[in-house]
Amino acid sequence: MADASSAMRNPVAATTYPVILAISLCHMLNDVLQSLLSAIYPVLKADFALDYWQIGLLTLIFQCTASLLQPVVGIYTDRKPMPMSLAFGMASSLVGLVVLAWAPSYPVLLCGAALIGIGSSIFHPEASRVARMASGGRFGLAQSLFQVGGNFGQSAGPLLAAFIVVPFGRPSIAWFTLIALLGIVILQRVGVWYREHARAAGQKIVDRTLPLPRNRVIVALVVLAFLTFSKNAYMASISSYYTFYLIESFGVSTQTSQMMLFLFLVAVAVGTVIGGPIGDRFGTVAVIWFSVLGALPFTLALPFVDLFWSGVLSVIIGLIMASSFPAIVVTAQELLPGRVGMVAGIFFGLAFGMGGIAAAALGVFADMYGIRAVYLACAWLPALGVLTVFLPRRREFLR
């Protein structure tokens, strides 16, 4: 504990693991709160007699609220850091939880989803900046550790929903405000470290010179955006509708379906941990190639297998696809030096926004053609990975 306190007080050039682990833990807490929303969709559907398009709209409101605000937060805090905004973002999520627990109607549910989205939009850009500050130059590792906290949080949400919300009802969501309170306390301490580190680094001149020609940078960023779309649209099909697919296709219980979603999300967390260090060692483009295209055979097979192999294939898909996101973020930060908050805001926001739009569209698609058709259509999304050929290689940055 003393080492952690020292690390919080004294900014250093080496990798500051206590800070990275603290921000990763808070990412986990933040994403537990977020993932509760999608995890309790079966409960909300039953309580409010919702159609699939209304489920999709809930996801759209949550994710688009986050995506629209994240780039704004990132651009603003690149110029004027706001260390204490981290705790404020967690407080917004806390209020959103209370609203979800006691909402009397569907429109109020939408307000609760929006509040959690606002909390996410504030948290992610600044937390990503803290991870990079504390990385000591090991950017891929720091991003992986930061993001894996979120992945574990997302995987824990369905599990907690299965054993708490399903048996005790929607009001039990309010119990999770204790998690939000813990996050606020930790983020306040992280904010102190961030403020002192930013003050110490404030006199340094940040070089914002582009490492490649402007047109080359634009093309690369557009490609990264398309790759983020393919990854998160498919992830949205799993996080929003996988439980319904399992219930409808195999007749499993809600708790069993949430356990299988939990396994998928754990695989996503493991893939995230693996992706960052491999990107530091072999280059981010190599990781992106493997991550996006490597999942294609398994996504194509998923709609045609039984319950057991659905679980196996979903774990493989999560493991492979998740390894790319740290690499995508680090590549974008290298393409736009000195704009850490903007990049984090855009790409985390892009992930949320594209996932939300995909979830809403897939909800309409599911109402029209059935749940299985969703996975038949989404199976081809990883094929967009061929666009990786247009990304710059590591040697181009070294010129």
DSSP H or E run through 289: helix 284-294
d(Cα 391, Cα 275) in Å, to the nearest integer? 17
Structure confidence at residue 77 (pLDDT):
78
Domain residue spans in the chain? 13-397
Top pLDDT among 205 and 178 is at 178
Top pLDDT among 299 and 279 is at 299
Q: What is the mean pLDDT of the chain?
A: 81
Structure confidence at residue 184 (pLDDT):
94
Residue 132, helix vs strand vs coil: helix
d(Cα 351, Cα 328) in Å, to the nearest integer? 11
Mean pLDDT of 237-246: 85
- DSSP assigned state of 398: T
C-alpha distance from residue 9 to each of 6, 197, 278 (Å): 5, 8, 31
d(Cα 50, Cα 57) in Å, to the nearest integer? 11
Mean pLDDT of 302-331: 88
Mean pLDDT of 269-296: 78
Q: Give which of 114, 125, 353 is closest to 225, Cα–Cα.
A: 353
Is 80 exceeded by the pLDDT of residue 6?
Answer: no
Is 70 exceeded by the pLDDT of residue 200?
Answer: no
Q: Give which of 260, 266, 322, 264 is closest to 294, Cα–Cα.
A: 322
Top pLDDT among 397 and 25 is at 25
- DSSP assigned state of 83: T
Top pLDDT among 341 and 318 is at 318
CA geometry: angle 187, 192, 194, nearest 5 deg: 85
CB 299 within 8 A of CB 382: yes
In the block, tokens 């939000």 appear at 180
Two structure tokens written together for 92: 């917004």
CB 150 within 8 A of CB 127: no
C-alpha distance from residue 66 to each of 122, 349, 359 (Å): 8, 6, 15
Q: What is the DSSP string of 152-180?
A: HHHHHHHHHIIIIIHHH-GGGGGGGHHHH
Structure confidence at residue 306 (pLDDT):
92
- For residue 363, the number of C-alpha atoms closer than 13 Å in the C-beta half-sphere is 23
3-state DSSP of 28-67: HHHHHHHHHHHHCHHHHHHHHCCCHHHHHHHHHHHHHHHH
The confidence band for 169, taking pLDDT boundaries of 50, 70 and 90, is confident
What pTM was computed for the model?
A: 0.67
Structure confidence at residue 3 (pLDDT):
40
d(Cα 221, Cα 71) in Å, to the nearest integer? 15
- pLDDT, one tens digit per residue, over 30-74 is 988 887 887 788 888 888 888 878 887 887 788 778 777 878 888
d(Cα 200, Cα 109) in Å, to the nearest integer? 43
User: Sign of dihedral through CA atoms 384, 380, 150, 366?
Assistant: positive
d(Cα 348, Cα 328) in Å, to the nearest integer? 10
CA 179 to chain centre: 18
Top pLDDT among 140 and 18 is at 18
Is 90 exceeded by the pLDDT of residue 237?
Answer: no
d(Cα 83, Cα 194) in Å, to the nearest integer? 6
- Pick from 235-239, 255-259, 309-313 the range whose average pLDDT is largest: 309-313
Q: CA-based diameter of the chain, in Å? A: 62
- DSSP assigned state of 370: -
Mean pLDDT of 83-98: 91
Two structure tokens written together for 152: 């574990």
Residue 128, helix vs strand vs coil: helix
Structure confidence at residue 396 (pLDDT):
62
- When computed from its CA atoms, the radius of gyration of the chain, rounded to whole angstroms, is 20
- CATH node for 13-397: 1.20.1250.20
- Pick from 4-18, 202-216, 224-238 the range whose average pLDDT is largest: 224-238
- pLDDT, one tens digit per residue, over 381-391 is 888 888 888 88
Residue 196, helix vs strand vs coil: helix
CB 125 within 8 A of CB 30: no
